[in-house]
Amino acid sequence: MAPDHVTRRAVLQGGGAAMALPGVAGAETGAMLSPESNRGRDMSTVEFTVNGDRVQLQLDPRTTLLDALREHLQLTGTKKGCDHGQCGACTVLVEGQRINSCLTLAVMHEGDSVTTIEGLGTPKNLHPMQRAFVTHDGYQCGYCTPGQICSAVAVLGEIEAGIPSHATEDLEHVVLSDAELRERMSGNICRCAAYPNIIAAIREVAAGDEA
């Protein structure tokens, strides 16, 4: 393994998505700006739709979509785990596709339609995937859960659309299986290891969709 003087972060970066690193990367990203660092700089205006509402923001161009959602729109359901594309906690749907909101700039989303966990369902009116996560205990601490749920909703859409994955045996013929779900959900890390229950929850929603 790597010698001691290679930092933990460096090793994780090098290895890709080892696990979420809450708090390590945030400070130096510049995404959460101190007023000084922005003084005298151009702000950019961006307009997009979030959970059906049109919003217009004046932002430092460095602001990620994740920080725009959390810090500027107070939609704190979407979580920041690693801030480097490695954990999936920040997963949202943009134009119906799941992406890591930490690795994209808000200003790049002019005119886009964004759906966050708050837009999928509400406590009084849960989305079927949210309900299934509750039923199957698809979480412990819940930190990764909004990302897991957004990802899971998109995964079923991707299978429905016949998009293959690494687990697909015949590229022309995509069938839903536990192996498919595990592979497709691998971009969402759960430190509490709720994985089996997450798969059970997604399975239930998939079965309901077929019925």
Ligand X SMILES: Cc1cc2nc3c(=O)[nH]c(=O)nc-3n(C[C@H](O)[C@H](O)[C@H](O)COP(=O)(O)OP(=O)(O)OC[C@H]3O[C@@H](n4cnc5c(N)ncnc54)[C@H](O)[C@@H]3O)c2cc1C
Residues 104-133 contacting another protein, CB under 8 A:
104-105, 107-108, 110
> Taking the complex as a whole, how short is the minimal distance between the CB of residue 10 and another protein, in angstroms?
4
Dist CA 45 CA 161 (whole Å): 35
Q: What HEC string does 114-130 produce?
A: EECHHHHCECCECCHHH
Nearer to another protein, 53 or 194 (CB): 194
Identify whether the C-beta of residue 152 lies closer than 8 Å to the C-beta of residue 91: no
CA dist 126 to 10, 90, 131, 139, Å?
Answer: 40, 20, 6, 16
Residue 130 binding partner per list another protein, ligand FES, ligand X, none, with a CB distance cut-off of 5 to 8 Å that depends on partner kind:
none
Contact status: 88 vs ligand FES (CB under 6 A): yes
Residue whose pair of structure tokens reads 């594309």 in the numeric block? 85
Identify whether the C-beta of residue 91 lies closer than 8 Å to the C-beta of residue 100: yes
Residues 65-94 contacting another protein, CB under 8 A:
83-85, 88, 91
Contact status: 37 vs another protein (CB under 8 A): yes
Residue whose pair of structure tokens reads 């990367």 in the numeric block? 25
Residue 155 binding partner per list ligand FES, ligand X, another protein, none, with a CB distance cut-off of 5 to 8 Å that depends on partner kind:
another protein
> Taking the complex as a whole, how short is the minimal distance between the CB of residue 125 and ligand X, in angstroms?
34
Dist CA 112 CA 88 (whole Å): 20
Residue 141 binding partner per list ligand FES, ligand X, another protein, none, with a CB distance cut-off of 5 to 8 Å that depends on partner kind:
ligand FES
Residue whose pair of structure tokens reads 């509402």 in the numeric block? 53
Lay out the site mask for ligand FES across 68-87 (x = CB under 6 A, - = otherwise).
Answer: ------------xxxx-xxx
